[in-house]
Amino acid sequence: MLNAIVKWSVFFYGILLIILGIVGYKVAGSIPSIVIGSGFGFLLMICSLLMFLKKRAGLICSTAITLLLTAFFAYRYSTTRGLMPALLAVLGGAMLVFLLLHCARWKRNS
């Protein structure tokens, strides 16, 4: 059974991605920022909802999405050396470790 911290963390991570996508669009005029931020943020909020409904797919999907985002932002940082991709790669990496720990814990308790 997942605790509420995991469910709410994924929900707020999704909201943060949406907000940062909007900020990226406003500051740099980057359409990919708003598309990626809104799209993946919305998907993470759906994953959180699935976790609240006690569906294992929510945790698995949120972990996969976070892995994808972390890899993408790490790549973007390696090519641009920008501050925003670095922050998002670190944030995504921390969230990924957090989710992987809970995946292992859920598997053990099942």
Read off the pLDDT of residues 44-76 as tens digits, 9 standing for 90 and up: 999 999 999 999 899 999 999 999 999 999 999
Domain boundaries, the chain: 4-109
Q: What pLDDT sits at residue 1?
A: 55
pLDDT band, residue 93 (cuts 50/70/90)? very high
pLDDT band, residue 110 (cuts 50/70/90)? low
Nearest partner of 58 among 109, 5, 10, 3, judged by Cα: 10
Q: What pLDDT sits at residue 21?
A: 94
Number of H helices, E strands in the chain: 4, 0
Q: What is the pTM assigned to this prediction?
A: 0.90
pLDDT band, residue 36 (cuts 50/70/90)? very high
